[in-house]
Amino acid sequence: MTFKIPETISEAEINLLVKSARKNKLKAAIVLGFYQGLRVSEVINLTKSDVDMPRGFLHIKQGKGKKDRDLPIMKPAIFYFRFLPLDVTRQALHKAVKKLGKEVLRKDIHFHTLRHSGASFYLNEKGIDIRHIQELLGHSRLSTTQVYLHVNPQQLKNAFNEAWK
């Protein structure tokens, strides 16, 4: 079985989307989808009480598979927790992200694109181990996480060249 690797967008493009979004709640949803790796249902169900700033964790209740998980709070997301709860429907959020992607980036993106892009960003730009990304995304199988990740061919080459120095 072959999987089509989903398209990703860069952190610069995320920042452009956030800057271009008119509503703070949409900005928050974009940031949480990308930096926290959240699914659309997780974003719309998030409340201020799920944010534990003293411990530095975000509690996700009843994610996919009815599993709870705690995620480290990512610094770029901190400002946007003030807009929780988002009080938006799943459909409205999908529509807003798709529309903004077309207007600003001239790309056909979906909310899930943010999650995919964030995972690839952590792997390629931040050098986070794939097992940690698996935990962030709440995947029980590593193979699921691997489908999400775009490995930059030049970075792959550099990593292996480094191994042979």
Active site residues: 39, 64, 112, 115, 139, 148
- Both tokens assigned to 103: 């207007």
C-alpha–C-alpha distance, residues 4 and 105, integer Å: 21
- Both tokens assigned to 129: 């181990």
The 10 Å CB-count burial string (b at 16+, else e) for 18-55 is beebeeebbbbbbbbbbbbbbbbebbbbbeeebbeeee
C-alpha–C-alpha distance, residues 157 and 123, integer Å: 15
- Both tokens assigned to 140: 């029980």
C-alpha–C-alpha distance, residues 160 and 158, integer Å: 5
